[in-house]
Amino acid sequence: MKILIAEDDAVSRAMLQAVLTKWEYTVISTEDGDAAFTAFQQKDAPQLALLDWEMPGINGPDLCRKLRQHNDKDPLYLILLTSRNNSEDLVQGLEAGADDYVVKPYNMAELQARINVGRRMIVLQNEMRERERLQGVLEMAGAICHELNQPLQIVSGHSEILMMDMEKDDPHYKTVETIKTNINRLGKLTRKIMQITSYQSKPYLKQKIIDIDQAAQQGKHT
């Protein structure tokens, strides 16, 4: 997971970067609030951040506030770094949009624990968003399949009637039979899609696609 540091003190910034790299985070390091805000506007920006309270330009609380106002995409977990430890300041930071805070000088075990909490929250929120997105896709697919079933049944029925009125050596018999076979395949596919309740994927060329058979089979047992 990526994590952003916004810290104007070069020594503290280097120390945090070294520690976070050791904890296997990909670190984006910035020296003030303006640079941090710019970093958050980039594609695939971090969702987890350590923000110093006192910085040139945009300070930590103002940066939290600005990020909450402008971010409408991925969830963010913002941790303020501060030497302030009175309750009024901490309430001010949390009300500005911070999720947590760590008081300087850092206790590394506490810092790691609070970052881990943030990481778990980000993972959970991403999973919830993905489930909600998938649920919307499945509901739309189900509605489309429901609308398709009736015309497919009509075409299949008329194809069968035509075949009953034709001799098998009729040159058009094979064509109608092919139409009916493929219409029935489409009907079977729509029924499978309507059974899907969870996401299953499989490799296809250089990407992944939904494994309809596996997903539909799982849907029968849920």
Angle at 217 between CA 159 and CA 144, to 5 degrees: 50
Residue 216 near residue 202, CB atoms below 8 Å: no
- Global pTM reads 0.67
Q: How far apart are CA 202 and CA 7, in angstroms?
A: 43
Mean pLDDT of the chain: 87
2-106 has which fold?
A: Rossmann fold (3.40.50)
pLDDT value for 135: 74
| Distances from the Cα of 87 to the Cα of 60, 93, 101, 102, angstroms | 17, 10, 12, 13
**Is the pLDDT confidence value at 76 over 90?**
yes
pLDDT value for 87: 86
Residue 25 has a CB neighbour count (10 Å cut-off) of 19
Give the least confident one: 66-75, 131-140, 146-155. 131-140
Name the 3-class secondary structure at 61: helix
Q: Which residue ranges make up each domain of the chain?
A: 2-106, 133-220
Q: Which residues lie across from 6 on neighbouring strands?
A: 30, 51
pLDDT value for 201: 63
Q: First-to-last CA distance in the chain?
A: 32
Sequence length of the chain is 222
**Is the pLDDT confidence value at 147 over 90?**
no
